[in-house]
Amino acid sequence: MSEVRFDGRVAIVTGAGAGLGRSHALGLAARGAKVVVNDLGAATDGSGSGSDAARAVVEEIRAAGGKAIANGANVANAEQVQAMVDEAIAEFGHVDILVNNAGILRDKTFAKMTLDDFKMVVDVHLMGTVNCTHALWRHMLEREYGRIVLTTSSSGLYGNFGQSNYGAAKAAMLGLMNVLHHEGSRKNVRTNLLAPTATTRMTEELFPAAVKDLLKPETITPGLLALVSEDAPSRMVLGAGGGCFAETRIYETRGVALQGDDLTPEGVLANMDTIRSEDGQTLMGGAFDQTNKYIKMAAELRGIS
Ligand code: NAD
């Protein structure tokens, strides 16, 4: 396997002043990428701002002989994001890689969640990712090269108590990735999801001391670098933590075709075991795969060819 290098490549990493983003930015720079280190300098709940965090990471990259600039854009602000992209292109000529990583938490049970707390988390995670990706999308299509990672979470993929806002925003990454894959991959713009689990300030109270060392951000960054490499896949959900990597997939069960007296709520409930059976389940390549499957099954049941 040839060495993964990013010489000549330009990357923007959001939320790169701390935690996972910092580790990703350092990893990209160490393998030759020029990096825009974005960070608003916000607290975990999204309050406050300051540019010191991004600058400190830029200093680390420069001290190691790499090239980087700091940027303090709030990813939830489309104008600031556009200015960041303009600055990146003015400084480095183009952008090849976008790592959407910036994030916040405002955990509460749904019963206690205010709509403001819900919206704030959606604005930073979902709209922040949309703003950055949209600002670069045409640029990447025109250059016929782009590697984009959206950061999701096990909370969005599988659910976690007290995180309806975060889980909804993180699950939205899946829908966005699926469509960007269909629209971008033929122009060599590949989009993937990273689902990390790491010890950062976001999770520092969750893990006992013995586990903290196992889950350092640096154990995840090799997966991120693979997802933005020349040989990157497209439309992959890569789970990562502690040096472990796995793919999350959505399968659809084979299901059942009903008609006549069976095409009733009672008929659906009576067939629930078959509907939920894992025998013959498949991956769907796109939305119309499902539609075509149902047309085929319904036609077969009715004897239509
Ligand atoms: P972190 O708090 O250490 O880092 C997040 C960074 O994002 C901070 O430096 C913060 O200033 C920056 N940021 C926040 N809002 C911003 C905004 N509006 N614009 C620009 N920058 C902003 O957290 P982390 O654990 O490194 O999380 C990184 C990403 O990984 C997040 O998207 C998070 O949801 C996701 N994630 C983390 C874990 C985990 O176990 N740590 C698990 C699943 C997903």
Q: What is the pLDDT of residues 1-47, one digit of tens each?
A: 899 999 999 999 999 999 999 999 999 999 999 999 999 999 999 99
Instruction: From 207, 115, 107, 199, select the one nearest 161 (Cα to Cα).
Output: 107
Count how many domains the chain has.
2
Q: Are residues 256 and 241 in the same domain?
A: no
Q: Are residues 162 and 294 in the same domain?
A: no
Where helices occur in the chain by DSSP H, the ranges are 19-30, 52-63, 78-92, 115-122, 128-143, 154-158, 164-184, 209-212, 221-227, 265-270, 272-276, 287-301
Average pLDDT of the residues in 125-134: 98
CA of 201 to the centre of ligand 1 (A): 9
Could you identify the residue written with the tokens 């269909």? 182
The verdict on the CB of residue 200 being under 6 Å from ligand 1 is yes
Q: Is 238 exposed, middle or buried (CB count within 10 Å of its CB: 0-12, 13-18, 19+)?
A: buried
Supply the range of the domain harboring residue 102: 10-248
Atom index in ligand 1 nearest the CA of residue 102 equals 7
Supply 183's token pair. 């629209």
The verdict on the CB of residue 132 being under 6 Å from ligand 1 is no
238 found inside a domain:
yes
User: What pLDDT score does 211 carry?
Assistant: 87
Q: 3-class SS at 190?
A: strand
Average pLDDT of the residues in 51-56: 91
Q: Are residues 233 and 264 in the same domain?
A: no
Atom index in ligand 1 nearest the CA of residue 15 equals 7
- What is the torsion angle, in degrees rounded to the nearest 10, for the CA atoms of residue 182, residue 184, residue 189 and residue 192? -40
Question: How far, in Å, CA of 214 to CA of 106, rounded?
Answer: 26
Q: How far is CA 154 from CA 42, 82, 163, 206, 239, in A?
A: 23, 30, 11, 14, 8
The verdict on the CB of residue 17 being under 6 Å from ligand 1 is yes
Q: Would you say residue 116 has pLDDT above 80?
A: yes
Q: Would you say residue 275 has pLDDT above 80?
A: yes
Tens-digit pLDDT profile for residues 59-106: 999 999 999 999 999 999 999 999 999 999 999 999 999 999 999 999
73 found inside a domain:
yes
CB-based burial, 274-292: b 16+ in 10 Å, e otherwise: eeeeeeeeeebeeeeeeee
Instruction: From 84, 41, 37, 38, select the one nearest 62 (Cα to Cα).
Output: 37
Instruction: Give me the interface pTM, i.e. the ipTM.
Output: 0.99
Q: Are residues 225 and 258 in the same domain?
A: no
The verdict on the CB of residue 150 being under 6 Å from ligand 1 is no
166 noted as active-site residue: yes
CA of 176 to the centre of ligand 1 (A): 19
Q: How confident is the model at residue 205 (pLDDT cuts 50, 70, 90)?
A: confident
Q: How confident is the model at residue 202 (pLDDT cuts 50, 70, 90)?
A: confident
104 found inside a domain:
yes
**pTM summary value:** 0.97
Question: How far, in Å, CA of 237 to CA of 251, rounded?
Answer: 13
Which of 13, 20, 22, 133 to mutate for ligand 1's pocket (most ligand atoms within 8 Å of CB)?
20
Average pLDDT of the residues in 54-62: 97
Q: Are residues 237 and 276 in the same domain?
A: no
User: What pLDDT score does 209 carry?
Assistant: 84
- Strands 189-196 and 237-241: what pairing? parallel
256 found inside a domain:
yes
